[in-house]
Amino acid sequence: MAHKPHEECGLFGIYNKDGLQVAEETYLALYALQHRGQESAGIAVNDGGVITVHKDMGLVPDVFDEKTIKKLGSGQLAIGHVRYSPSDKLERANSQPLVMRYVKGTLAIGHNGSIVNIPELKKELEYGGAIFQTSCDAEIIAYIIARERLNAGSIEQALVNTMKKLKGAYSLVMMSPKKLIAARDPQGFRPLCIGKIGESYCFASETCALTSLGADYVRDVEPGEVVVVDENGLRSLKDHCGQKSSLCIFEFVYFARPDSVIDGQSVHFARQNAGRILAQEHPVEADLVMGVPDSGLDAALGYSYESGIPYGMGFVKNRYIGRTFIQETQKQRERSVSIKLGALGAAVKGKRVVLVDDSIVRGTTCANIVANLRAAGAKEVHMRISSPPFMHPCYFGTDISSREHLIACKMSIDEIRDHIGADSLGYLSIEGVHAIAKESNLSMCDACFTGRYPIEVPDEMPKDKYDQKIKA
Amino acid sequence: MAHKPHEECGLFGIYNKDGLQVAEETYLALYALQHRGQESAGIAVNDGGVITVHKDMGLVPDVFDEKTIKKLGSGQLAIGHVRYSPSDKLERANSQPLVMRYVKGTLAIGHNGSIVNIPELKKELEYGGAIFQTSCDAEIIAYIIARERLNAGSIEQALVNTMKKLKGAYSLVMMSPKKLIAARDPQGFRPLCIGKIGESYCFASETCALTSLGADYVRDVEPGEVVVVDENGLRSLKDHCGQKSSLCIFEFVYFARPDSVIDGQSVHFARQNAGRILAQEHPVEADLVMGVPDSGLDAALGYSYESGIPYGMGFVKNRYIGRTFIQETQKQRERSVSIKLGALGAAVKGKRVVLVDDSIVRGTTCANIVANLRAAGAKEVHMRISSPPFMHPCYFGTDISSREHLIACKMSIDEIRDHIGADSLGYLSIEGVHAIAKESNLSMCDACFTGRYPIEVPDEMPKDKYDQKIKA
Amino acid sequence: MAHKPHEECGLFGIYNKDGLQVAEETYLALYALQHRGQESAGIAVNDGGVITVHKDMGLVPDVFDEKTIKKLGSGQLAIGHVRYSPSDKLERANSQPLVMRYVKGTLAIGHNGSIVNIPELKKELEYGGAIFQTSCDAEIIAYIIARERLNAGSIEQALVNTMKKLKGAYSLVMMSPKKLIAARDPQGFRPLCIGKIGESYCFASETCALTSLGADYVRDVEPGEVVVVDENGLRSLKDHCGQKSSLCIFEFVYFARPDSVIDGQSVHFARQNAGRILAQEHPVEADLVMGVPDSGLDAALGYSYESGIPYGMGFVKNRYIGRTFIQETQKQRERSVSIKLGALGAAVKGKRVVLVDDSIVRGTTCANIVANLRAAGAKEVHMRISSPPFMHPCYFGTDISSREHLIACKMSIDEIRDHIGADSLGYLSIEGVHAIAKESNLSMCDACFTGRYPIEVPDEMPKDKYDQKIKA
Amino acid sequence: MAHKPHEECGLFGIYNKDGLQVAEETYLALYALQHRGQESAGIAVNDGGVITVHKDMGLVPDVFDEKTIKKLGSGQLAIGHVRYSPSDKLERANSQPLVMRYVKGTLAIGHNGSIVNIPELKKELEYGGAIFQTSCDAEIIAYIIARERLNAGSIEQALVNTMKKLKGAYSLVMMSPKKLIAARDPQGFRPLCIGKIGESYCFASETCALTSLGADYVRDVEPGEVVVVDENGLRSLKDHCGQKSSLCIFEFVYFARPDSVIDGQSVHFARQNAGRILAQEHPVEADLVMGVPDSGLDAALGYSYESGIPYGMGFVKNRYIGRTFIQETQKQRERSVSIKLGALGAAVKGKRVVLVDDSIVRGTTCANIVANLRAAGAKEVHMRISSPPFMHPCYFGTDISSREHLIACKMSIDEIRDHIGADSLGYLSIEGVHAIAKESNLSMCDACFTGRYPIEVPDEMPKDKYDQKIKA
């Protein structure tokens, strides 16, 4: 488990009516959604019913270049996907979009989320003679759609029927030869929005992708909604709408990009709000408030506004992405040096500093940062966390999964404070975190903090059952 | 279609009982089988039931290096695959071994050949809710095995049952968590042999792979036989044995490596025999017999032995493999120059030359070679082909498929002679080609020459039906 | 010319006395100095007099990996270099360190700066029979050192003698078989500092590299000083010290990393000071002060402090570095969209915004950013630049060189304001910029703003004379 | 030292008068000369005096692709170079053409050979203040030309003057802004020929490059001749002609491609002749004559012709080039298996075989091949070598350099026979080797066999003196 929790995927889809180059639009959108998944990227283009796909392990600009984008050709529809998964699942076979042929032709699917009743769905399929070539949920979903399609009049109806069987978190973007389809699970765990460029509709996990393309934001896909775009325009199937929602609150705390708006709520302001409430809940006398770049910056600003303590900069982040060797080298030196984050000694020397971050996972990095601040001369370091402590695994599409690595499962807050070497430590309260997204009218999932799962989850979620059997 | 017909795949599998590094052994075996497929390569290793696979587009030494071989780890079983497919099917998704999970665990499959009743099998599966992620026959075979396994007591029994449904050419190497399994279709279209290193059994498409590893040749898998290797050793299921065989005669003419022995027949000697018979059927007065490197060398030697005309060398082949840019550049210059094959002017100047090759596909390369010989000073060029003219598509695992490109479908032999610019042209007769493999006791398939297909094939073989729907 | 001026190089050198891995230390130091040069990187290691070098085009983590660092082996001394040069000079041959053999053995040299009397030095060498294989000044310097060494008792004395002939900007790090040598031109145009890890001395262009390694900052190399480190420790030759200095003021404005300290002055505070003075010189009524990431952030904070207007965030920078295709795609869309910099609509909507950046070169990017802010809903945009307008080319190691592209050479400030679409525009004054680095006791070069060159420069600097003759 | 001696370089140059794409022509020519050097490749193009160069480590098709060839642009002149050097000199800095600027402009140089008085030339240059950035002779030559050019009226005159100072082996191809120049040392150690495509002259190390381009062979450059091509056509400077020649006899034995003609002698026929004489000198009763592919094939044919013993094939060479990992794997298995060379068991079983190769260096590979033949069933193996034993290092541009590794320096012929496991062993005699190239009217260097060096060589040739000081 890395030092930050990870969102597991980002989605995009577009139905071109304006002479757009759909592959290039999708490429740029995925680049804007890169923070949602850094391990694989893929684009599938549909040109007159022929689907061409290119996908591989790596970042968007590594997987695609001018040549690969050109090779995808120009089509009417395209969908794209970026994926993160815990490192032991590093499989090229799992990269998406998943493209499949079935009785009614071809289908490309991108999935963001996690289905909790996979084991029983899988067992049922297996006893029907199914074979699995990946370990991603999208393959299971594809199977069920293929089977439902045998008795449904349309692909969207087959999807609606499929959704009856799926339990858990899923935002989906799909492409049949003639239709672009988006769907969001009834709880709306993961975000998904609708945009428009000229007359062309598109779907994206976050609005930052729309902004990046110059697209207008239309609205979010509703929890439970299926949205179909074809030559007749956009229409909606709401069979699964109207249930109590459970939007992942951590999208606001950390996952989403600050310039995105989810279900009406600016992510940047949600984080500022978190910082403000944090300042109310955990005030302290200090000279400077600073955020850990980049995850703590928005909340630090809010803390500064609310507390009146000046906002400052405490670190310089190396602008150049380090690859594995930098990362490994850094790991070995973690205690003593600061390769990616240079402490700004002049700014903190002799100062009482409030240091804000979004969360603490294992505590190692946090301890390292505090130590560097002290080495740079900070007199006091008061750690403030803009979310409650992680206590419970997430089953809905993030990698907050193992109690063993979550420091808050093993230590009291005082112990954590001592462990990270801070003078004081304050977490945002559960009530506080629920107050950060006032503009959103969805209710939120806070299970990682409270253990109150909005839908039933298996006693022991066998996340890795299949993965241990095959690696690629 | 390239200037030479292509075999579509090469297979290898090994069950280690001697502390062998199975990944490395498979790697070396695939390198020896590289001539059977140059577009993708893959190795799957089974370590205590956990299957790890690495596969990609490219030649064996491009796909694998020390690091990837190491990453495959050390296991008890491994299978490997090299693949060729017509260029419009260039799909990474189709690279093998195919690794799948199903109700009974995991299975890795490598396939060489072509199933002719794929359309009906596919349709049946689709109406059972199947989804297809590749366009290779191995996926269909895998599905049927998975379904048969639901009612069969063992994987090998499921395979025997599956074979009842398959029509066409297939050699298979499979790996379940505990078993290595090989099978050959009842007609024995494509070769497959059994080897042994110490106490460890292995399977390979050709014996040259065994020699390369220092393995002993045990015997060929019989047409229709299923051979199982597990901790108890090797055993055989012969339910499908005993039918009339149709071993591909072109394996002897061109596909196999000369140092291989197929069903008891040395490939080198089969080609020498072809040259000898050719000399009887098409004698000519000349000063020198030479083969087109490397495909015509063995037959040229036979022609020289039989005719008494001295064997000579007429060309120097560039030892360094050219990549695409060399190939493209060459294509544009094809008429006038000789980039890969340097004519040995000093040797041919003023000479009457018998030039031997295994086949003529489109005639372009052949015409170019004859022109280069003349430019180098040859007084006469007598072309001799060590097989009959291609007149019919092959449905059994090669790319001899399209009448449009086969020169013999469009021209008489005299017209071909004029087209390639030779003084005379002689093809081996049908009777002649059947006489080249005297040591083999299998009857042969000669459908590409005669149109007499040993099993029923569809009126119009829809080879590319699925491929036109998806590219990857 | 890019949208930002560029520093042309970064240097590092280390003399190991503590069992350090010099190649790895240099690698990490270059990573910290990456902002000073992104086009090539190189490390030379000296192990018992044998110098091994690895260098190539690309970023530090692209040029080096675990394997290349290992191949450099472990030695006692190492020097490293990162280089930027205008794109038409993209030559691998120019990557440094330059390693040469001469009458006294081997020498490795890294250079940061620009020698202004190159043409006459070159002519003199040419008439002495010299040949040039690169177009970098380091080669000329190496030649003169080699010649001076014939009559000097030591390499350091040869360097002192060489410095008499050199006019212009240079910081040097050199390595002979037994010595590590650093030097700075008498004007001290470019920075260079001394650090210490245990008993091991090192040199770096900026202190941020020292911090990154956990090294202590000892002091800056003085303008004109030559510092020698060998087995006897560190000693200094001050023959060229004591002249009036001309430290590049743009190091404080933009080039250096904010967490560096140059000649006693924190770069971060110099930029904050610039923002404070800017607020005094160009006050405005507004709701929010924001910096253009990352170049305007420090000054924006200073402007906010001084003006009392709240500091805010207006943009989200994509954390993932875009390669050429992203960059090209972006270029074609520059007017309408925002791929790398997402405007934070929620934050700026309806607000009067003060937008701070360090400089305007051509104006295109600035205009684009202002347009995006307005599109995001900003009511007013007041642009503030934390340095005076560029009016004159720089001859001392940056790429501020061509009047044709400098917007301030072609337009009045009012015209620039209209061109970029701002409601108001204020530049820091010349007096202001001289006041930002109060802690430094060096006098500064402001020639790019004033045209007052601290040393004589040629009427027409033939920067590109040689480059047009050869490209590699 | 590898299992075969290596030629150290291949050269090509072209002066376009016919609208040819000089970069592409040079690329194809280098591909044809690839056997003369596999470690680096380079092309320099001269377009109106501006020289652009691309060079790197690797084979021609690895170093160049469509993009790099395009980037070289279209010019009037181009030169190209392939290089081999012993593995401890693997330096990218040494790849050629060397492009330099000097007092009269730019010059690109490619060199094939080895200068024996380098140490004194280098010393003289060093005391004149020279610096060296490579360890290749071309740099020394370039320096001397640059100095001579100060007092000579033209570049070709400067070259003539330079040749007075050079001792040893060199074929040169050079390119000034307006001239293409070729030269060969007075002894003519290494080959160099003149070709013509339409009105465009070109130079190449071997005629096989001309054939590959469709160029006509004009004649060889004479030993000692300087040939200049400019807009006025071709002219010759013969100041150094007329001395006793010493063409390397091993070019005929092994280095050159069989389809080349050197100084009037077909290489293929020279090797056939070697085989014929070998059959006279070392007759034996046997069933089959076979060559080690590809180095022994031509001589085997000659042995067969002369002896009347049928020519056969004993090995199949893997057509697919193995990269390092194949090579390393093979090395570890050398005794027992045959990865690159499959013994043709069927052909040799029970036969008495004459096995012909061109030379034995260390004996390891030869022993391995003999062992494989026996394992494949050969009854007797009679080894025949188509050149005398190597007893002395070569100082003229090959890597036959170290007595330590030459088996013939350590063992008698009987001992070698036993070491390699042959039933008999016969080497071609000194007289025999001198008789193989009857058509050539040049006298030959046989120093590697006799120790009679045609020009004085240093007592202890300090080949590696400089190389041990720097690696890159």
DSSP-assigned letter for residue B222: P
pLDDT at res. C467? 35
pLDDT at res. C84? 86
Place domain D9-246 in its CATH homologous superfamily: Aminohydrolase, N-terminal nucleophile (Ntn) domain (3.60.20.10)
Nearest to C305 among A66, A310, A321 (CB): A310
**Neighbour subunits, D (≥3 Cβ pairs < 8 A):** B, C
Name the residues of D annotated as catalytic.
Answer: 9
B62 is annotated as contributing to ligand binding: no
Rounded Cα gap, residues C37 and A320, in angstroms: 11
Domain(s) labelled CATH 3.40.50.2020 in chain D stretch across: 269-317+336-440
D130 Cβ neighbours under 8 A, 6+ residues apart: C102, C129, C130, C146, D143
Rounded Cα gap, residues D411 and D420, in angstroms: 12
Quick check: C470 and D98 CB within 8 A? no
From chain A, the residues in CB contact with B468 under 8 A are 50
Q: CA dist A189 to A266, A391, A394, A443, B467, Å?
A: 17, 19, 11, 10, 37
B-D C-beta contacts closer than 8 Å: 170
pLDDT at res. B402? 65
Per the annotation, the verdict on C9 as an active-site residue is yes
pLDDT at res. C398? 87
Quick check: A129 and B133 CB within 8 A? no
Query: Pairing relation of β-strands C105-115 and C168-175?
Result: antiparallel
Spatial CA neighbour of D388 closest among D262, D268, D254: D254
The arithmetic mean of pLDDT across residues A127-153, rounded, is: 94
Is the preceding peptide bond at A258 cis, omega within 30 degrees of 0? no
Q: Whole-structure pTM over 0.95, yes or no? A: no
Q: Using one digit for the tens of pLDDT, what is the confidence trace for C103-143?
A: 999 999 999 999 999 999 999 999 999 999 998 999 999 99
pLDDT at res. C472? 39
Q: Which CATH class is domain D269-317+336-440?
A: alpha beta
Nearest to B471 among A52, A127, A131 (CB): A52
Buried b (16+ CB within 10 A) or exposed e, C124-162: ebbebbbbbbbbbbbbbbbbbbbbbbeebeebbbbbbbb
How close is the nearest chain B Cα to the Cα of A130, in Å?
6
Domain(s) labelled CATH 3.40.50.2020 in chain C stretch across: 265-440
pLDDT at res. A331? 61
pLDDT at res. C468? 33
Quick check: B66 and D325 CB within 8 A? yes
* pLDDT value at A273 more than 80: yes
Rounded Cα gap, residues A346 and C324, in angstroms: 36
| Summary mean pLDDT of chain A | 90
Query: What is C265-440's CATH topology?
Result: Rossmann fold (3.40.50)
Q: How confident is the model at residue B234 (pLDDT cuts 50, 70, 90)?
A: very high
- In chain D, % helix, strand, coil (3-state, to 5) comes to 35, 25, 40
pLDDT at res. D469? 37
Domain(s) labelled CATH 3.40.50.2020 in chain B stretch across: 266-318+335-439
The arithmetic mean of pLDDT across residues A47-69, rounded, is: 91
| CATH number of this structure's domain A265-441, picked from the four choices 3.40.50.2020, 3.40.1640.10, 3.30.70.100, 3.40.50.300 | 3.40.50.2020
Residues of C near D (CB-CB distance < 8 A)? 49-54, 98-103, 105-106, 126-134, 139, 142-143, 146-147, 150, 466, 468-472
From chain B, the residues in CB contact with A130 under 8 A are 102, 129-130, 146
Residues of D near C (CB-CB distance < 8 A)? 49-54, 98-103, 105-106, 126-134, 139, 142-143, 146-147, 150, 466, 468-472
* pLDDT value at B369 more than 70: yes
Question: Tokens 């955020």 belong to which residue?
Answer: A291
Q: In terms of pLDDT, which residue wins out, B376 or C467?
A: B376
- The catalytic position among C9, C136, C193, C208 is C9
Quick check: B129 and A106 CB within 8 A? no
Specify whether the CB–CB gap between A170 and A183 falls below 8 A. yes
pLDDT at res. A44? 97
pLDDT at res. D404? 66
Q: How confident is the model at residue C459 (pLDDT cuts 50, 70, 90)?
A: low
Query: Pairing relation of β-strands B261-262 and B470-471?
Result: unpaired
Neighbours of D65 (CB within 10 A): 15
A88 is annotated as contributing to ligand binding: no
Q: Using one digit for the tens of pLDDT, what is the confidence trace for A154-201?
A: 999 999 999 999 999 999 999 999 999 999 999 999 999 999 999 999
Q: How confident is the model at residue A470 (pLDDT cuts 50, 70, 90)?
A: very low
Domain(s) labelled CATH 3.60.20.10 in chain C stretch across: 9-246
Environment class of residue C176 by beta-carbon count within 10 Å: exposed (0-12), middle (13-18) or buried (19+)? buried
From chain A, the residues in CB contact with B467 under 8 A are none
Rounded Cα gap, residues D372 and D376, in angstroms: 6
Quick check: A126 and B133 CB within 8 A? no
Q: How confident is the model at residue A399 (pLDDT cuts 50, 70, 90)?
A: confident
Spatial CA neighbour of B221 closest among B179, B188, B196, B269: B188
| Summary mean pLDDT of chain B | 90
pLDDT at res. B463? 40
Q: Using one digit for the tens of pLDDT, what is the confidence trace for A305-319?
A: 999 999 999 999 887
List chain D residues with pLDDT less than 70: 1-3, 86-90, 321-337, 402-404, 459-472
From chain A, the residues in CB contact with B98 under 8 A are 133
Q: Could you give the angle at the alpha carbon of B313 between the alpha carbons of B309 and B316, nearest 5°?
A: 165
Most confident of B397-406, C404-413, D343-352: D343-352
Q: Using one digit for the tens of pLDDT, what is the confidence trace for B70-125?
A: 999 889 999 999 998 764 455 788 899 999 999 999 999 999 999 999 999 999 99
The arithmetic mean of pLDDT across residues C339-351, rounded, is: 90
The arithmetic mean of pLDDT across residues A357-370, rounded, is: 91
Q: Which residue of C has its CA nearest to D56?
A: C92
How close is the nearest chain B Cα to the Cα of D287, in Å?
13
Q: How confident is the model at residue C93 (pLDDT cuts 50, 70, 90)?
A: confident
Quick check: B346 and D211 CB within 8 A? no
pLDDT at res. C339? 81
pLDDT at res. C334? 56
- H or E element: which one contains A427? strand A424-427
For A88-124, give the DSSP string. GG--GGG-SSEEEEETTEEEEEEEEEEETTHHHHHHH
H helix runs in C285-333, sequence order: 297-307, 324-332
From chain D, the residues in CB contact with B27 under 8 A are 329
Rounded Cα gap, residues C59 and C43, in angstroms: 13
Widest distance between CA atoms in chain C: 72
State the first-to-last Cα distance of chain C, in angstroms, to the nearest integer: 20
DSSP-assigned letter for residue C13: E
Q: Which residue of D has its CA nearest to C177?
A: D469
Query: What is B266-318+335-439's CATH topology?
Result: Rossmann fold (3.40.50)
Quick check: C129 and D128 CB within 8 A? yes
